[in-house]
Homo-oligomer: A and B are copies of this chain.
Amino acid sequence: MASIRDVAKAAGVSLGTVSNAINRPEVLAPLTLRKVQKVIEEMGFVPNASARNLRAGRNRVIGLIVPDISNPFFTALAMGVNDAAFAAKYVVILCNTDESTDKESQYLEVLSAQNVEGILITPARETIRALAKVAEKGIRLALVDRPALGLQACSVAVNDSYGGSLALTHLHELGHRKILLLTGSEDIPQVADRNTGIRDSMKEIPANQLPQIMELRLDSMSASNAYDAMMKKIESGVDFTGIICGNDLIALGAIRALREKNIAVPEDVSVIGYDDIDFAGSANVPLTSISQPAYELGFAAAELIISECENPERHVHQRIEFQPRLVVRSSTAPTKSHRANLRIS
Contact = CB atoms under 8 A, between A and B. Distances in A.
Contacts of A47: 113
Interface in A239-295: 252, 255-256, 278-279, 282-284, 286
Interface string A77-96: 01100110010010111111
A93 B96 contact: no
A179 B111 CA distance: 51
A76 interface: yes
A137 B89 CA distance: 21
A46 B109 contact: yes
Interface residues of A, number: 54
B75 A69 contact: yes
Interface stretch (A49-57, A191-199, A202-210, A213-221): A49-57
Contacts of A282: 223, 252, 255-256, 279, 283-284
Interface of A: 1, 44, 46-51, 53-54, 59-61, 69-70, 72, 75-76, 78-79, 82-83, 86, 89, 91-96, 103, 106-107, 109-115, 133, 136-138, 223, 252, 255-256, 278-279, 282-284, 286
Given A48-B115, A69-B78, 9 more contacts: A1-B137, A44-B136, A46-B113, A50-B51, A50-B54, A61-B93, A72-B72, A91-B114, A93-B93
